[in-house]
Amino acid sequence: MIDIQQVTKIYTLHRTKVVGVDHVSLQIESGEIFGIIGHSGAGKSTLLRCINLLERPTSGRIIVEGTDITSLSGEALREARLKIGMIFQQFCLIRSKTVFENIAFALKAAGKTRAEIEARVHELLELVGLSDKRDAYPSQLSGGQKQRVGIARALANNPSVLLCDEATSALDPATTSSILQLLKQINRELGITVVVITHEMEVIKEICDRVAVMQNGQIVEIGRVYDLFTQPQHPLTRSFVEHILRLDVPERLWQARSGTLVRVLFQGPAAEQAILSDTLQTFRVRANILHGKIEYINDTPLGVLLLELNGEKEEVERAIHYVAERTKGVEVIDRAA
Ligand SMILES: Nc1ncnc2c1ncn2[C@@H]1O[C@H](COP(=O)(O)OP(=O)(O)OP(=O)(O)O)[C@@H](O)[C@H]1O
């Protein structure tokens, strides 16, 4: 477990104090993929860098797998850091060294023998799917391949935690997806705790089990990703979720509507069909499906449907109530006049 207790980080810039992280307490369970999302300047990087003490908190404690990281320095800190791997948005590879040498570097630093290094690099390149690039230089690799080298290097010393600092922000969507799948595979197969910071809800949606939402150095909401999608509480969380679940209604349909517009969230298509037909049979309402889509939240389907309901006002309200009780939520977007 990573136990972050009342961590504050204050920077001093030209005698002015800047609060990076403000009294954050957070427990990340061993073996989970935990996301931290927020806009630029929210304090995500600072918090992440406190976990391996790249930034030393101004106050508070961080306990990683039973070791109080914040109490360490010198050799003890170097040793503890071997158990915490990290990957970066800009990959941070050594340009003058080959893929093999970049990964071997982390093992040499840990005092491994030549034979151990050969065997381990071979194993890591297989894991990240880059066995054929062993002797290539970073400049000869695509962004996705560079990040795979970064991942191999971060895993070299068998860490129990992998910190990912905007690891896919420099990559195109297809490459992002393949890197996220690799992180998920590493988490599942090796049992490594993965902490991801990002400003993109797509990243959280694809791989995270839980997420914390940060603003002004503080955590404003935390929970299971699916729950945050279906019941966001804080306005910032709502805006992140909205970005993914938004259904843009063509202007023509918007103008032509006459009934009440509702957005329904439901878990999977089968459930939706049964609920809709039940509703139409139970109440004297007509339903028009204007738009719909299914998002996969860490492999669990979440459907979004935009309906126009027509009928007697009270009957429509009863139907909405009926649907609300049987789905993940109903939002009335526009009531019929
Ligand atoms: N080395 C530093 N010196 C002074 N202030 C800093 C330093 N690093 C971060 N800050 C400040 O701390 C606050 C949090 O920054 P941080 O980089 O952690 O946010 P972030 O959420 O990771 O944003 P981004 O995605 O843009 O990196 C910001 O106000 C930032 O200006």
Secondary structure of 197-265 as H, E, C letters: EECCHHHHHHHCCEEEEEECCEEEEEEEHHHHHHCCCCHHHHHHHHHHHCCCCCHHHHHHCCCEEEEEE
Question: What is residue 269's predicted lDDT score, i.e. its pLDDT?
Answer: 62
Q: Which atom of ligand 1 is nearest to the CA of 13?
A: 4
Q: Which atom of ligand 1 is nearest to the CA of 45?
A: 22
**pLDDT tier for residue 94 given thresholds of 50, 70 and 90:** very high
Contact 153, 106 (CB under 8 A): yes
Centroid of ligand 1 to alpha carbon of 5 (angstroms): 20
- State the Cα–Cα distance between residues 64 and 62, nearest whole angstrom: 6
Distance of CA 210 to the CA centre of its chain: 8
Q: What is the rounded average pLDDT for all residues in the chain?
A: 92
pLDDT tens sequence across 10-21: 999 888 999 999
**pLDDT tier for residue 300 given thresholds of 50, 70 and 90:** confident
Q: Give the residues surrounding ligand 1 with Cβ less than 6 Å away.
A: 11, 13, 18, 20, 38, 40-46, 199
Average pLDDT over residues 134-147: 96
**In this structure, which residue's CA is closest to atom 16 in ligand 1?**
43
**In this structure, which residue's CA is closest to atom 14 in ligand 1?**
43
Centroid of ligand 1 to alpha carbon of 40 (angstroms): 8
Question: What is residue 167's predicted lDDT score, i.e. its pLDDT?
Answer: 93
Average pLDDT over residues 54-65: 96
Report the predicted TM-score, pTM, of the whole model to 2 decimal places.
0.90
Q: Which atom of ligand 1 is nearest to the CA of 9?
A: 12
- State the Cα–Cα distance between residues 41 and 286, nearest whole angstrom: 48
**pLDDT tier for residue 271 given thresholds of 50, 70 and 90:** low
Domain boundaries, the chain: 2-234, 251-334
CB atoms within 10 A of CB 77: 16
Q: Which residue type sits at 235?
A: P
Question: What is residue 274's predicted lDDT score, i.e. its pLDDT?
Answer: 78
pLDDT of residue 273 exceeding 80: no
Ligand 1: which of 10, 18, 50, 199 to mutate, judged by most atoms within 8 Å of the beta carbon? 18
pLDDT of residue 93 exceeding 70: yes
Average pLDDT over residues 76-95: 92
> Do the domains 2-234 and 251-334 sit in the same CATH topology, yes or no?
no
Q: Which residue type sits at 182?
A: L
Q: Is 122 exposed, middle or buried (0-12, 13-18, 19+ CB in 10 A)?
A: middle
> Which of 74-83, 180-189, 264-273 has the largest mean confidence?
180-189
Q: Which residues, 6+ apart, have CB-to-CB distance to 246 below 8 Å? A: none
Centroid of ligand 1 to alpha carbon of 20 (angstroms): 6
Q: Higher model confidence: residue 329 or residue 84? A: 84
Distance of CA 152 to the CA centre of its chain: 20
Q: Which residues, 6+ apart, have CB-to-CB distance to 219 below 8 Å? A: 24, 26, 212, 213
Q: Which atom of ligand 1 is nearest to the CA of 55?
A: 1
**pLDDT tier for residue 148 given thresholds of 50, 70 and 90:** very high
Average pLDDT over residues 292-297: 89
- State the Cα–Cα distance between residues 224 and 245, nearest whole angstrom: 17
Centroid of ligand 1 to alpha carbon of 109 (angstroms): 29
Centroid of ligand 1 to alpha carbon of 12 (angstroms): 12
User: What architecture (CATH level 2) is domain 251-334?
Assistant: 2-Layer Sandwich (3.30)
Centroid of ligand 1 to alpha carbon of 81 (angstroms): 22
Superfamily designation of domain 2-234: P-loop containing nucleotide triphosphate hydrolases (3.40.50.300)
Centroid of ligand 1 to alpha carbon of 2 (angstroms): 22
264-302 as b/e, with b when 16 or more CB fall inside 10 Å?
bbbbeeeebeebbeebeeebebebeebebeeeebbeeeb
**In this structure, which residue's CA is closest to atom 26 in ligand 1?**
40
Question: What is residue 270's predicted lDDT score, i.e. its pLDDT?
Answer: 60
Average pLDDT over residues 252-260: 81
Q: What proportion of the chain, given as a percentage, has pLDDT over 70?
A: 98
**pLDDT tier for residue 199 given thresholds of 50, 70 and 90:** very high
Centroid of ligand 1 to alpha carbon of 231 (angstroms): 29
**In this structure, which residue's CA is closest to atom 25 in ligand 1?**
40
Average pLDDT over residues 101-119: 93
**In this structure, which residue's CA is closest to atom 28 in ligand 1?**
41
- State the Cα–Cα distance between residues 167 and 274, nearest whole angstrom: 41
pLDDT of residue 249 exceeding 80: no
Average pLDDT over residues 168-182: 95
Question: What is residue 251's predicted lDDT score, i.e. its pLDDT?
Answer: 80
Q: Higher model confidence: residue 55 or residue 288? A: 55
Question: What is residue 272's predicted lDDT score, i.e. its pLDDT?
Answer: 67
Q: Would you say the C-alpha torsion 159, 26, 40, 209 has a positive or negative sign? A: positive
Centroid of ligand 1 to alpha carbon of 257 (angstroms): 46
pLDDT of residue 327 exceeding 80: yes
Beta-strand ranges (E) seen in the chain are: 2-13, 16-28, 33-37, 59-64, 67-68, 84-88, 161-165, 193-198, 210-215, 218-224, 260-266, 285-297, 300-311, 329-334
pLDDT of residue 257 exceeding 90: no
Helix axes 173-190, 143-155, angle to 10 degrees: 20
Contact 267, 229 (CB under 8 A): no
**In this structure, which residue's CA is closest to atom 6 in ligand 1?**
11
